[in-house]
Chain A
């Protein structure tokens, strides 16, 4: 029973480049969440998606960040023109639904380093 998969696990980008982070949810899960964990900070919600729809992007910066969850394939978090402040661990979680009855299962994360 495969869990949530994320790739790459580590990503190094120079300032100004683009970063693409991928997340494959657990089998049967159609709800995907992205969180960011900065050093010494807690996990912060970024965006919530269902297949082909962004449901809540209230935690995502207005510029340079975008997310998608196409009908086929993984969810993608895209960061354009990365800056040093984007260096963080990015976690994806998936669930069967949105109520508290459906716990969110997390992937291993992608650690982005901007040089």
Chain B
């Protein structure tokens, strides 16, 4: 069964304290792995798409990496405005729908 597991469920950091979020997946025929950010009361906001093992993408303080079994979202020197829930999702085979993990709720304190 296709599955996406994110850890930790919640992460509290001090401003400037770098860390990583994990997304492990089991899926047949991975077409893409996606990272989204979701703020309270809002819809998910697209961050990155990764297609194959070894790929990396960066955006401001965020860097996403992909291996054959997991993806990491590295946050360098986070700021309070980075506080949000980060969602990982996979798309498989010929299907267009995304399979989401439950997310990691990140809190960055000043």
Contacts and interface: CB of A to CB of B under 8 A. Distances in A.
A106 B95 contact: no
Interface residues of A, number: 28
A60 to B, nearest CB: 11
A44 interface: yes
Given A33-B96, A55-B96, A100-B31, A41 B43 contact: no
Contacts of A103: 34, 46, 49
Nearest to B103: A42
A107 B46 CA distance: 11
Interface in B35-69: 36, 41-46, 49, 51
Contacts of B32: 100-101
B96 A108 contact: no
Contacts of B49: 100-101, 103
Given A4-B43, A42-B101, A43-B44, A98 B87 contact: no
Given A44-B100, A48-B96, A59-B97, A100 B43 contact: no
Nearest to B30: A100
Interface in A41-58: 41-45, 48, 55-56
Nearest to A4: B43
A25 interface: no
Interface of A: 4, 31, 33, 35, 40-45, 48, 55-56, 59, 91, 93, 95, 98-101, 103-109
20 contacts: A4-B43, A31-B96, A40-B102, A41-B102, A42-B4, A42-B101, A48-B95, A48-B96, A55-B96, A56-B96, A95-B96, A100-B49, A100-B91, A103-B34, A103-B49, A104-B98, A106-B44, A106-B46, A108-B41, A109-B43
